[in-house]
Amino acid sequence: MAATRRSSRLSAQSDAKPSSPQPEDQTANSTQNNRKRKASTSKATAPVTPTKRRTERIQPVPPSTPTPSAAGAIAEPAASTKPRTHPTIARLADPLATNATLLSPETSRVVAFKDIDLGSPSKKPGTRITTENLLDVACAHLISVDERMRPLVERNHCKVFSPEGLAEKIDPFESLASGIISQQVSGAAARSIKAKFLALFDTRDRTTRFPHPSEVAPVPVETLRTAGLSQRKAEYIKGLAEKFANGELSTEMLHDAPYEELVEKLIAVRGLGRWSVEMFACFGLKRMDVFSVGDLGVQRGMAAFVGRDVAKLKSKGGKWKYMSEREMLDISEKFAPYRSLFMWLMWRVEDSYTDVSTLE
């Protein structure tokens, strides 16, 4: 009994014993931390603007020249005249007229300037412009106008207007139709579509050749589309064939017409824009005084030729400009009547080289 009471007293004393006080520095720190927490929660956090990342300014990339690689189909010799090596026969030439040897799409009749005999004593080389000396005469003229043309002429041989190039036989219907087929597609795709197009007209009793306009005109658009042509391209080629078939377009007209009349007639054909007609006149008909102000490669080359920094682009109305059309015409005018060669060389100015090899 006594032991139980003693145990109870000890337990009560233990419970009543005060706890040992904390050190003053710990108490002060605890109080200070509490005050800081209260102060931080009472103040609104100010928004922080994120640091902007410095990014390099991306320079605008100039658009590519409208000269498409597939446009080489425009200058491709007629299928019936391949391989592409042709005997050179001297003919009269005229820088203001068609110098190509053209084939009638229906009869394959040759339309060209009259052949001449350079061996005749009265027709010595150099006394008149022929297919043999046309390129030499043109090169000499460009250099005489501006001596800066000399290095361009000496570095670049223009096969288009050489005796070999002028000997190639061109079917104008095939050339224009091939140009339509090649619009907005790669060269490989254009060749594939053209092969399928030819297969539509291929028969067992003849070798593959490009069809006559009279064969294409009556074919439904739906059938032409099976070759891989779009609806519009099928309509364009059918319309072109109809114009050749009804005589509105002819090899004789394309050969003999003045340049402006030629352009007007061809632009009226659906699917042929001015640039396409200019390229056909230059590379298909081998006319020597064609100049395209709408070709960006020519524009860029001319700007570099006159000493401008073509890396600094100008954009007006959303269109890239290196030089105004008026200025291009003013500069090129002095190179007439050989502006086709001048244009061809402008594509090859070192600071703005444009590959047009597929056009040749």
Residue ranges covered by each domain of the chain:
73-112+128-288, 291-359
Query: Looking at residue 184, what is its pLDDT?
Result: 85
Query: Looking at residue 16, what is its pLDDT?
Result: 47
Query: Looking at residue 120, what is its pLDDT?
Result: 46
Identify whether the C-beta of residue 289 lies closer than 8 Å to the C-beta of residue 95.
yes
CB atoms within 10 A of CB 172: 26
Identify whether the C-beta of residue 356 lies closer than 8 Å to the C-beta of residue 344.
yes
Identify whether the C-beta of residue 269 lies closer than 8 Å to the C-beta of residue 249.
yes
Query: Looking at residue 10, what is its pLDDT?
Result: 47
304: part of which helix (H) or strand (E)?
Answer: helix 296-305
- CA distance linking residue 174 with residue 241, whole number of Å: 10
SS3 (DSSP) at 103: strand
Nearest of 292, 340, 343 to residue 166 by alpha carbon: 340
Please state the CATH superfamily assignment of the domain spanning residues 73-112+128-288 in this structure: Hypothetical protein; domain 2 (1.10.340.30)
Q: Show the low-confidence residues of the chain (pLDDT under 70).
A: 1-73, 75-88, 113-127, 203-208, 313-320, 351-360
Query: Looking at residue 24, what is its pLDDT?
Result: 47
What single string gives the DSSP state of each residue in 46-98? PP-PPPPPP-PPPPPPPPPPS--GGGGGGGPPPGGG-SS------BB--TTS-
Query: Looking at residue 30, what is its pLDDT?
Result: 53
Torsion angles phi and psi, residue 292, rounded to 5: -110, 110
Query: Looking at residue 325, what is its pLDDT?
Result: 92
Query: Looking at residue 228, what is its pLDDT?
Result: 96
DSSP label at residue 171: -
250: left (phi over 0), alpha (psi -120 to 50) or beta: beta
Tokens standing for residue 18: 């005060």
Query: Looking at residue 358, what is its pLDDT?
Result: 45
Query: Looking at residue 273, what is its pLDDT?
Result: 92
Distances (CA, A) of 156 to 160, 283, 341, 344: 12, 16, 11, 10
